[in-house]
Structure 1
């Protein structure tokens, strides 16, 4: 479970990350990451799971799995980073390990420093 300081809660924050952030897509999820200037703030995560994923039970299962994956990634994600994960319909039938692989691949790819 992600504690409140590690969650995106405002719609404006979601929009900013999705529009201005770097994006990495996969079969099951699309991950957007935006590094802010506030390096003292904890990394925050947000989730977008539409009705195309499935009914409420399936959507909540996917959301819980993604929250658990992000809780594991907290030490890896730099301070001041906002991450939004959009679940695609294929995530409904994905296992926890498959979701973790997709999210970890995107987060490590988007947060690694750029070589000069």
Structure 2
């Protein structure tokens, strides 16, 4: 006896839409983080945001993430950075400025526990203040 064939689920479905948002570049070099630290900064309940206009003519938006040991052990720091990465992925392509670098810094006991919509509002508020 042969098993029944699986129903054809591909009929009538469309492939997922390709995002038109620009991909975020990642800051990896210490010098980029230090340059952002010398630039504008805005603190919120859930994070600190540092931002600078690079002025190199490259329209890419770059972002970096950091959490010190004050945030907690490795598990807490990784959770905080995952949440910061997701907030940046959702908001920076629309609200960030081309040619800018952003560094998102986690806060102790706030970044990991803060409600996700509140964390998004924190980044929106910080970007609005930084770009004003």
TM-score, with structure 1 as normaliser: 0.83
- 1:90-109 aligned at under 5 Å gives the runs 90-109=110-129
- CA shift, 1:71, in A, is 0.9
Q: Give the greater-gyration-radius structure (CA).
A: 2
Q: Is this contact kept in 2: 1:39–1:79, CA < 8 A? A: no
- CA shift, 1:111, in A, is 2.1
Structure 1: 4+ residue segments shifted above 2 A: 38-41
Distance of 2:30 and 2:114 partners within structure 1: 27
- CA shift, 1:42, in A, is 0.7
Q: Paired residue for 1:8? A: 27
Gapped regions of structure 1 (runs ≥ 5): none
- The alignment of Structure 1 onto Structure 2 pairs a total of residues equal to 109
Q: Paired residue for 1:86? A: 105
Q: Paired residue for 1:59? A: 77
2:94 corresponds, among 69, 75, 78, to 75
Cα RMSD of the aligned pairs, angstroms, is 1.8
Q: Paired residue for 2:64? A: 46
Gapped regions of structure 2 (runs ≥ 5): 1-21
TM-score, with structure 2 as normaliser: 0.74
Q: Paired residue for 1:18? A: 37
Q: Is this contact kept in 1: 2:24–2:63, CA < 8 A? A: no
